[in-house]
RNA sequence: GGUACCAUAGCUCAGUAGGUAGAGCAAUGGACUGAAAAUCCAUGUGUCCCUGGUUCGAUCCCAGGUGGUACCA
């Protein structure tokens, strides 16, 4: 019997939650979330986590399963989500994977290379070096440890440079030698569905959703985690702008405007990423019947 | 109705002593292998309100419209 992972992608605010629930209910199955922020149980309003009602309409996994204090990354996600598919495919022939976190989606569909998790101590040390000596000193180290990657990497992007150095130092090997550039085989078929609307429509929805979050108490939610603002989990649209407001950098109105703008930019970035995948078939989120018949037709093809 | 001022990018506005224009914000395109809602790179998108006039040439000067704002009736 064939197994199918139905992957639903699209920009933030387009209605992935609603559509994935409808699809999960149609196939009487469950949903794995690929959302790098809804996975934190403390963050509810600002991440547009599905409501209690939505969560009970279909079984969801990987929502509110981590704490903002936990270390979590695409690698952990790949491991966990794959294990989940293994379990759930025993009961179901279809599963729904949905979320806007581009790299998490790829981690499941294509896989990422096996690398060691970087020691916090080393990470802190390199961060200090970056803060005091700047990117140049790290570029020099990278050039020595991994000249191939040095030639490929965006040298202005400090996170990439630092991470490559971290991996070289952790493993004693060059980072580029650990990059296999292969797509991992999965024991299931993947069907990709994209949700899209006119850009203006997407932006209108985002602006309204942010106003709605403010009404629901986003400012209080952010204030609760103000003392944790240095955590990576809180380097998140909707929170970081309010933290800067609490710091006195600008007024509340400006913070709300920036949340809207940064959410719009995020949506645009998601579209750039997801559009590159030619296997994704795009739909208006209201065309639920068309989406289902598209999925059905692909499943028939795979079986024949 | 009268007088004054204004009309330039999506918005707020600058500018051109007459040679078709530029800032901020917004926006657009892209990169992406363990922080990815992160991080990084690139890009000015325009009937200069309309119609005439003067001029080799008008977004700019002149006249008349139209629209807006303020004040006076």
Indicate if the alpha-carbon torsion angle A290, A292, A295, A296 is positive or negative.
Answer: negative
Torsion of CA A48, A49, A50, A51, to 10 degrees: -90
In Å, what is the separation between the CA of A60 and the C1' of B18? 69
Number of H helices, E strands in chain A: 14, 6
The answer to whether A139 CB sits below 7 Å from nucleic acid chain B is no
Predicted confidence at residue A300, as pLDDT, reads 82
CB A189 within 8 A of CB A301: no
- A38-67 residues near strand B (Cβ < 7 Å): 38, 46-48
Predicted confidence at residue A19, as pLDDT, reads 96
Predicted confidence at residue A302, as pLDDT, reads 64
**Sequence-distant (≥ 6) Cβ neighbours of residue A295 within 8 angstroms:** A4, A6, A23, A191, A193
Q: Which nucleotides of B are covered by protein (CB under 7 A)?
A: 25-41
Predicted confidence at residue A134, as pLDDT, reads 86
The answer to whether A235 CB sits below 7 Å from nucleic acid chain B is yes
In Å, what is the separation between the CA of A204 and the C1' of B66? 33
Predicted confidence at residue A63, as pLDDT, reads 96
In Å, what is the separation between the CA of A191 and the C1' of B54? 70
Predicted confidence at residue A1, as pLDDT, reads 59
The answer to whether A26 CB sits below 7 Å from nucleic acid chain B is no
**Tell me, what's the ipTM?**
0.89
The answer to whether A107 CB sits below 7 Å from nucleic acid chain B is no
In Å, what is the separation between the CA of A118 and the C1' of B35? 11
H helix or E strand, kind and range, residue A9:
strand A4-9
The answer to whether A13 CB sits below 7 Å from nucleic acid chain B is no
CB A145 within 8 A of CB A174: yes
Helix axes A135-145, A158-171, angle to 10 degrees: 40
- A150-169 residues near strand B (Cβ < 7 Å): 154, 156-160, 162-163
The answer to whether A184 CB sits below 7 Å from nucleic acid chain B is no
Predicted confidence at residue A303, as pLDDT, reads 59
Q: How far apart are CA A81 and CA A110, in angstroms?
A: 13
3-state SS assignment for residue A224: helix
pTM value surpassing 0.95: no
Query: pLDDT in tens for each of the 304 residues of chain A?
Result: 589 999 999 999 999 999 999 999 999 999 999 999 999 999 999 999 999 999 999 999 999 999 999 999 999 999 999 999 999 999 999 999 999 999 999 999 999 998 988 988 898 899 889 988 888 889 999 999 999 999 999 999 999 999 999 999 999 999 999 998 889 999 999 999 999 999 989 999 999 999 999 999 999 999 999 999 999 999 999 999 999 999 999 999 999 999 999 999 999 999 999 999 999 999 999 999 999 999 999 988 765 5
The answer to whether A273 CB sits below 7 Å from nucleic acid chain B is yes
A34 C-beta neighbours (distance < 10 Å), count:
28
Q: CA of A265: how far to CAs of A117, A120, A268, A276, A295, in Å? A: 30, 31, 5, 17, 30
Give the rounded distance of the alpha carbon of A73 from its chain centre.
Answer: 10
- Which residues on neighbouring strands pair with residue A195, listed in sequence order? A283
In Å, what is the separation between the CA of A69 and the C1' of B64? 72
Residue whose structure tokens are 């929170």:
A239
Any idea which nucleotide's C1' is nearest the CA of A110?
B33
């Amino acid at each position: 019997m064939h197994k199918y992972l139905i992957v639903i992608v699209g920009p933030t605010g387009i209605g992935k939650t609603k559509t994935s629930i409808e699809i999960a209910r149609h196939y009487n199955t469950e949903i794995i979330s690929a959302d790098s922020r809804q996975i934190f149980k403390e963050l509810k309003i600002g991440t547009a986590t599905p409501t209690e009602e939505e969560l009970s309409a279909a079984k969801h996994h990987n929502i509110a399963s981590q704490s903002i204090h936990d270390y979590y990354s695409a690698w952990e996600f790949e491991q966990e989500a794959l294990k989940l598919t293994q379990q759930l495919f025993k009961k179901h022939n279809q599963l729904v994977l949905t979320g806007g976190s581009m790299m998490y989606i790829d981690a499941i569909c294509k896989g990422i290379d096996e690398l060691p998790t970087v020691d916090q101590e080393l990470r802190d040390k390199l961060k200090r070096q970056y803060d005091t000596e700047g990117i140049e000193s790290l570029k020099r180290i990278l050039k020595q440890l991994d000249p191939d990657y040095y030639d490929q990497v965006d040298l202005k992007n400090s996170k990439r440079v630092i991470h490559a150095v971290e991996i070289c130092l952790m493993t004693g090997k060059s980072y580029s030698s650990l990059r296999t550039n292969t797509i991992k085989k999965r024991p299931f078929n993947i069907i990709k569905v994209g949700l899209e609307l006119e850009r203006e429509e997407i932006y209108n929805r985002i602006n309204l959703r942010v106003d709605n979050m403010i009404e629901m108490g986003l400012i209080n939610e952010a204030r609760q985690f103000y003392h944790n603002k240095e955590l990576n989990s809180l380097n998140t649209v909707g929170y970081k702008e309010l933290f800067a407001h609490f710091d006195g950098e600008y007024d509340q109105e400006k913070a709300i405007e920036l949340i809207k703008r940064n959410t719009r930019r995020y949506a645009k970035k998601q579209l750039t990423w997801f559009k590159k995948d030619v296997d994704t078939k795009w739909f208006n989120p209201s065309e639920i019947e068309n989406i289902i018949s598209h999925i059905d037709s692909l499943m028939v093809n795979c079986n024949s």
